[in-house]
Amino acid sequence: MIRSTVFAALLLTCSGLLAQDDQWRTEALKNCTKNQFTMNVCAVEDFKVADKKLNSLFQEQLRRLTSKEGKQYLQAAQRAWILFRDKDCLYQAGPREGSGTIWTLEQYSCLKYHTDRRIEDIKRFVQCTQNGCPS
């Protein structure tokens, strides 16, 4: 009985904290230039939106491919691109430790930059309907 009461209390506390975090995020997104915190929140959110779009386009292209080899090549290329993106952003933003509060903005802005470029690449594949398109 005591365990269930403690668990319920912890669950309510965590729920309250999550709701508070969501409220802070919502407020931060209203003014992305207010301070470093809001810039960081907006950078993360902008990246998430771009990443979701990229994943959707990638899945669309994967479905369009007819050969097993083509699908494997696209998946291998995407894994290599993710590795490049992450390493390039680490180079640009540096390690998080000791970088200060601006690190999140720099890191996620870099991730979004690369993701936006990859979206354009994948869009070209999806829109390709002529001979010579990846198969």
* Structure confidence at residue 72 (pLDDT): 96
What residues contact 33, with CB distance under 8 A and at least 6 apart? 39
- Return the CATH fold of 32-127: Substrate Binding Domain Of Dnak; Chain:A; Domain 2 (1.20.1270)
Domain segments of the chain as ranges: 1-30, 32-127
Measured distance CA(32)–CA(97) in Å, rounded: 24
Please write the tens of the pLDDT for every residue from 94-127. 998 878 889 999 999 999 999 999 999 999 999 9
Please write the tens of the pLDDT for every residue from 3-28. 555 444 444 444 454 455 677 667 65
In this prediction, residues 64-87 reach a mean pLDDT of: 95
Measured distance CA(33)–CA(39) in Å, rounded: 6
Residue type, 13: T
* Structure confidence at residue 66 (pLDDT): 87
